[in-house]
Amino acid sequence: MKRTIFDGDHDLFRSSVRGFIEREIKPHHDHWVAERIVPREAWLKAGAQGLLCMSAPEEYGGAGVEDFRYPAILAEELQRANCTGPGFGIHSNIVAPYIIRYGTAEQKKRWVPGMISGDTILAIGMTEPDAGSDLGAIRTSAIEDGDNYVVNGAKAFVTNAVNADVIIVSCVTDPEKGQWGISLLAIERGTEGLQVGPPLAKVGWHAQDTAQVFLNDVVVPQGNVIGKPGQGTFLMGKELNQERLLIAVSALAASRAALDWTIAYCKERQAFGQPIGTFQNSRFLLAEMETEVTIGQTFLDRCVMEWNAGSLRADEVAMAKWWATDLQQRTIDRCVQLHGGYGYMAEYPIAQAWLDMRWTPIGGGTNEIMKEMIGRMMGF
């Protein structure tokens, strides 16, 4: 079914992104997987190509493009190439909006040009070793001291952390106010007391420099508060929606890519003198997956357009996130099965996709939390 949400400009953008990934990402990705990090040079190249923080305002050197179809195309093309390492989407569409939408003019002047060029890489630390789904239960504290805050605590599983130049951290600034006493502070690389661990040994997503962040008596100027003190929970509640939509878009694209590789494999691989795709079981599986991915894509495309129009509700984003990531799990798992033993070999893209996919029902708010949100909106 032909997708109808893109026009000629989007198609041109997609082909330039595809070329960029072929030239600058794909040839190096295996090496980055081994190194467990995407080097800064790749970020600078993405910046030079205009792929970072496209929504940044023109007065700070950005393109001012608010159309979510562009980041969606970048995410889709990275999945299509099976290049999951670059945390460009997390940087541009998950963390940058906190600075672009709620930052002061001074903060924007300081960070936005580098965010666009790739010189200033962003990360966000909300999750803690003892608090993930329950973001209001964090313990990292920021105590006022003159014009500064003194921050103590730890953050777990911070994507882009090793490369990060600015990490936005959620902290308790007013313990009396519970979840309304949480603030977001931007902490810069090199600040004394800020320590980033090595890239974590994850099950998959190996080229991504996810790490722990430790904060010991870190002195952060009050001028680094994002939004106002106490607004952290409110801002995260708003911005997590875009994160979830991006995860959903990526999950759908990963499913589409895996299915395409599998269709090709099922045509080529022979067993009992016939292509394996012609066995009734394979044909039914392929037909089911094609149907589900097509239906999913139609829904996701509608979500993207509603998001652009500002009319997509949080519970609808939650539906997209849980359903698309769930679809990704069952699609890619079935694709592995259709590859037989080769599906378990790391050199095959499908095996890599199988390892990389497992975090998506967990990250950005677990799928159980998504269903909680939907259930609550239904009045339960």
Ligand X SMILES: Cc1cc2nc3c(=O)[nH]c(=O)nc-3n(C[C@H](O)[C@H](O)[C@H](O)COP(=O)(O)OP(=O)(O)OC[C@H]3O[C@@H](n4cnc5c(N)ncnc54)[C@H](O)[C@@H]3O)c2cc1C
Interface residue list for ligand X (CB under 6 A): 124-127, 132-133, 157-159, 202, 205, 210, 359, 362-366, 368-369, 372
| Ramachandran area for residue 187 (φ above 0: left; ψ -120 to 50: alpha; else beta) | beta
CB of 241 to ligand X, least distance (A): 14
CB of 359 to ligand X, least distance (A): 4
Between 172 and 259, CB nearer to ligand X: 172
- What's 44-88 look like in SS3? HHHHHCCCCCCCCCHHHCCCCCCCCHHHHHHHHHHHHCCCCCCCH
CB of 209 to ligand X, least distance (A): 10
Listed residue (196, 237, 194, 231) closest to 216, CA to CA = 194
CB of 366 to ligand X, least distance (A): 3
Burial zone of 172 (CB within 10 Å; 0-12 exposed, 13-18 middle, 19+ buried) = buried
CA distances from 364 to 47, 127, 170, 367, 368 (A): 25, 10, 15, 9, 11
CA distance 374 to 317: 9
Between 97 and 277, CB nearer to ligand X: 97
Between 35 and 372, CB nearer to ligand X: 372
CB of 90 to ligand X, least distance (A): 6
Tokens of 37: 């990090």
Active site residues: 243
CA distances from 150 to 169, 231, 247, 250, 273 (A): 13, 18, 33, 37, 70
What are residue 182's phi and psi, to 5 degrees? Answer: -105, 135
Query: Collapsing DSSP states into helix, strand and coil, what is residue 229?
Result: coil
Question: Nearest to ligand X by Cβ — which residue?
Answer: 132
Between 126 and 194, CB nearer to ligand X: 126
Q: CA 226, 74, 21, 117: dihedral to nearest 10 degrees? A: -30
CA distance 70 to 376: 32
Tokens of 189: 């690389």
Between 203 and 287, CB nearer to ligand X: 203
CA distance 102 to 183: 12
Between 100 and 184, CB nearer to ligand X: 184
CB 212: neighbour CB atoms within 10 A? 19
CB of 167 to ligand X, least distance (A): 9
Tokens of 374: 């939907």
Between 90 and 285, CB nearer to ligand X: 90
CA distance 155 to 139: 10
CB of 202 to ligand X, least distance (A): 6
